[in-house]
Amino acid sequence: MSSTLQIINPSTEQPVATVAMADVSETDRVIERAAKAAPDWRRVSPADRARLLRRFAEVVDSHNEELARLEVANAGHTIGNARWEANNVRDVLHYYAGAVERHSGRQIPVAGGVDITFYEPLGVVGIIVPWNFPMPIAGWGLGPALAAGNTVVMKPATLTPLTALRLGELALEAGIPEGVFQVIPGDGATVGQRLVTHEAVRKVCFTGSNAAGRTIMEGCAAQVKRVTLELGGKSANIIFDNADLAKAAASAPYAVFDNAGQDCCARSRLLVQASAYDQFMEYFESAVKAVRVLDPSDEASEMGPLITAAQRESVLSYVDESQVAFRGSAPDGPGYWMAPTVLESTSRTERSYHEEIFGPVVSVVRFHDEAEAIAIANEGPYGLSGSIWSRDIGQALRVARGVETGALSVNSNSSVRYNTPFGGFKQSGIGRELGPDALLGFSEEKNVFISTEE
Ligand code: NAD
């Protein structure tokens, strides 16, 4: 039996919408529709499929403000971030529209004939999205999956279905055929698990927590189902004493407090060289206190609320057991607000130092030399992202090669670009999204040998 869920605005605690949550039989109907649509979609000529994706991108673009406002209300994202996120969906669709006609196989020299390879679509792809970045993460799976000729069933996070549902409508408006891209809200144990267990779903593309990721991988193993996992992180922002300390400190708050720290790439461990520690912390304190934590619909807002009261409780539990160095500010009144919080860790044993908190909290630690910086950065099970601030480019590159993470930036904190690969080392995930090769993750490579012997 289907149920409904009331969606709450995290900055006002007021209801925004009521959404029907699918049950297993509804999920089966949606998957079967996707399976039925798959043969026709793969037969659409490459140029026409590219044209449809471009048109979808244009329709998303013309609804940027509407999508952004929806995300502000549903997820508490700042309006500036939410506009960027809707633009990111547009850009991903445009980028992969350009990939459809370039997704070519190879001709391989062999004896006795001609050998060619083809990239075939998988069929139905299930995309399971978390609540922290509902639009971008939807787009990262959707764009390359459709471009490679698959049909998509998307399950948005239970808490944040609104923009995904709207994207589903916009796809139809753009002329993407019925059944090619469907969005089905529901909970993980019901709809998400059905994507894992239904035999017609050939791949699950999952972004979320490590606990759910492990369950999904185990479930996929039963059918040797393809799976991509984008999981948690506890990334390091490494500041060397020769860096532009003022610039590194001015940018460090946004590397962890953006999206209220609910970011898998959050640089939630700040590693500062001991010789520059005091100077850096002085700059950093001013920068943290200047972060504008405001109503997310205010154009000046740089950080909004946490997603739920329970998330805030969980984040605060880490702070309660740690040594707070200083805090920024946050509004009072309704909403799941929390001030950006800076912790100092001397022992690196606190729970707050080694667990993913997923809130506006950073732990600062000292290191003495390059080798120690790399060793500290590599502590723990995660390896998703990170930054290195140094004016010595040789040093920056040595450290970049030494740190076991998938997406690093030097003298910058930007980790995600639609045109470069993204994904984790170690327990931060399996597989890569985005970048020039993303279609390979949504294709099977087929080899055909043609004899030329008489
Ligand atoms: P979550 O694991 O609770 O949920 C993610 C999605 O999976 C939701 O749609 C949920 O309904 C569904 N789900 C949950 N259990 C499931 C199950 N057993 N079977 C199938 N589906 C299931 O994660 P969340 O709290 O929504 O997101 C936060 C986590 O996501 C953090 O750990 C964060 O680091 C991670 N994340 C990773 C990336 C990345 O790219 N590596 C990006 C964003 C978020």
Confidence of residue 212 (pLDDT cuts 50, 70, 90): very high
* Alpha-carbon radius of gyration of the chain: 23
With pLDDT > 70 as the criterion, what percentage of the chain qualifies?
Answer: 100
* Calculated CA dihedral for residues 401, 369, 343, 72, nearest 10 degrees: -30
Q: Which two tokens stand for residue 189?
A: 């144990």
Confidence of residue 1 (pLDDT cuts 50, 70, 90): low
Q: Is the C-beta atom of 215 inside 6 A of ligand 1? A: yes
CB 191 within 8 A of CB 204: no
CB 269 within 8 A of CB 234: yes
Mean pLDDT of 83-98: 98
- Residues paired with 303 in a beta bridge: 293
Instruction: Tell me the C-alpha distance between 85 and 421, whole Å.
Output: 18
The pTM of the full predicted model, rounded to 2 decimals, is 0.97
**Domains of the chain, CATH where assigned:** 3-231+428-450 (3.40.605.10), 236-417 (3.40.309.10)
Number of C-beta neighbours around residue 325 at 10 A: 17
Residue 157 has pLDDT above 80, yes or no: yes
Instruction: Tell me the C-alpha distance between 319 and 333, whole Å.
Output: 21
> Under DSSP, is residue 438 helix (H, G, I), strand (E, B) or coil?
helix
Mind listing the pLDDT tens digit for each residue in 22-51? 999 999 999 999 999 999 999 999 999 999
Exactly one of 264, 302, 356, 433 is catalytic; name it: 264
Mean pLDDT of 150-163: 98
Mind listing the pLDDT tens digit for each residue in 358-415? 999 999 999 999 999 999 999 999 999 999 999 999 999 999 999 999 999 999 999 8
Q: Is the C-beta atom of 151 inside 6 A of ligand 1? A: no
Burial of 227 (0-12, 13-18, 19+ CB in 10 A): buried
Mind listing the pLDDT tens digit for each residue in 293-327? 999 999 999 999 999 999 999 999 999 999 999 99
Mind listing the pLDDT tens digit for each residue in 223-274? 999 999 999 999 999 999 999 999 999 999 999 999 999 999 999 999 999 9
Query: Does the active-site annotation cover 370?
Result: no
Atom of ligand 1 nearest to the CA of 229: 41
Instruction: Tell me the C-alpha distance between 100 and 41, whole Å.
Output: 13
> Under DSSP, is residue 127 helix (H, G, I), strand (E, B) or coil?
strand
Q: Is the C-beta atom of 130 inside 6 A of ligand 1? A: yes
Q: Which two tokens stand for residue 208?
A: 């979320």
Position 2 scores a pLDDT of 72
CB 276 within 8 A of CB 318: no
Classify the C-alpha dihedral 128-133-134-139 as positive or negative.
negative
Exactly one of 230, 302, 356, 433 is catalytic; name it: 230
∠ CA 411-352-291, rounded to 5°:
50
Q: Is the C-beta atom of 207 inside 6 A of ligand 1? A: yes
Position 416 scores a pLDDT of 94
Cα-to-centroid distance, 376 and ligand 1 (Å): 26
Instruction: Tell me the C-alpha distance between 206 and 204, whole Å.
Output: 6
Cα-to-centroid distance, 208 and ligand 1 (Å): 2
Strand boundaries in 159-235, DSSP class E: 181-183, 201-207, 226-230
Q: Is the C-beta atom of 187 inside 6 A of ligand 1? A: yes
Query: Does the active-site annotation cover 356?
Result: no
CB 391 within 8 A of CB 370: no
Average pLDDT value over all residues in the chain: 98
Strand boundaries in 285-339, DSSP class E: 324-327
Mean pLDDT of 170-179: 98
Q: Whose CA is nearest to atom 35 of ligand 1?
A: 208
Atom of ligand 1 nearest to the CA of 230: 41
Instruction: Tell me the C-alpha distance between 214 and 427, whole Å.
Output: 10
Q: Which two tokens stand for residue 53?
A: 């994706």
Task: Note the Cα 84 to chain centre separation in Å.
Answer: 14
* Calculated CA dihedral for residues 29, 30, 34, 36, nearest 10 degrees: 20
Mean pLDDT of 106-111: 98
∠ CA 220-224-225, rounded to 5°:
55
Position 415 scores a pLDDT of 86
